[in-house]
Amino acid sequence: MSVSVTKADGTRQLFDREKVVRTCLRMGASREIAEGVATKVEARTYDGIETGKILQLIFRLLSKHKPAIRHLIDLRKALSTMASRPDFERFVQIVLGENGYEIAPNRLARGKCVEHEADAIARKDGVTYFVEIKHHRNFHTPTGLDESRIARAIIEDVTEGYELGLNDLEVSKAMIVCNTKFSEHAKRYGECRGVLQMGWSAPPYRSLQDLIEEKRLYPVTCLKGLDVATKERMASAGILLLRQLVERSLEELAKQTGIPEETLEPVVRKARIAFSSLETTPRRASDLSVG
């Protein structure tokens, strides 16, 4: 009998065992372990089970094979807990830069009608993008049609401003980067109007999660048990990536953040254990989440 799962928006879809396997592979599990976890998850599912409960079950079962996973929370949730500004904006700028884009952050451009502030200007392969970065605290909230329509209107105004000599920014396309999925209306509009929409599981093979995972650019907020004050002090000092905690000495981190070494030591130790478990794993699908 087919078993359906309930997504966060209340809709249902058939349970997909392969999504469980891919989620485990993304977390650095071997194919053998991933298949074993998927078998156990499949045996414990029931009709109508929430995708969030499936993810919790995956983490619990996988942590028996990879104890370091106990120190991590899901990437999707970790992104949602970041401060929208400036932390998530700066994080996205870093991710784009590490993936081959030339980045100019927070650029003002005068359009024909009004001035517009880009969260970034990104250039790659001869294409210049006017980048809008959107962040949702609730990672189940879709990024809707309005954001894409606004981005399109900004491109038109900035382009007309360039043609009139009001700015020196010759942009090619609009890019929206967000930590959630796009609504169906937004996706249809973006495809029609040439707006590059980069979010959770979109576009295929080059989504935000793909760019993060391929370069191991996991945010500090992936670390379980990190208190708000410590996260804020790290972010204020420009420490946004787990990699930064792993690569820098305690002395350097303490000097940079103002956090005592004795407070940082257990955090850094946990970060090193967790980061080492996040192996880069070959993938052939962008939607690796279970919901």
Enumerate domains of the chain plus CATH numbers.
Answer: 4-67 (no CATH), 84-213 (3.40.1350.10)
CA distances, 45 to each of 31, 33, 42, 54, 150 (Å): 21, 18, 5, 8, 42
* Three-state SS annotation for 46-115: CCCEEHHHHHHHHHHHHCCCCHHHHHECCHHHHHHCCCHHHHHHHHHHHHHHHCCCEEEEEEEEECCCCE
pLDDT tens by residue, 167-195: 999 999 999 999 999 999 999 999 999 99
Q: pLDDT 10s per residue in the chain (291 long)? A: 578 999 877 889 999 999 899 888 877 788 899 999 999 999 999 999 998 899 889 988 988 887 777 788 889 999 999 999 999 999 999 999 999 999 999 999 999 999 999 999 999 999 999 999 999 999 989 999 999 999 999 999 999 999 999 999 999 999 999 999 999 999 999 999 999 999 998 998 899 999 998 899 999 999 988 888 999 999 999 999 999 999 999 999 999 999 999 999 999 999 998 888 775 444 433 333 444
Q: For residue range 16-32, list pLDDT tens digits in order.
A: 999 899 888 877 788 89
Q: Tell which phi-psi region holds residue 165, choosing left (phi > 0), alpha (psi between -120 and 50) or beta.
A: left
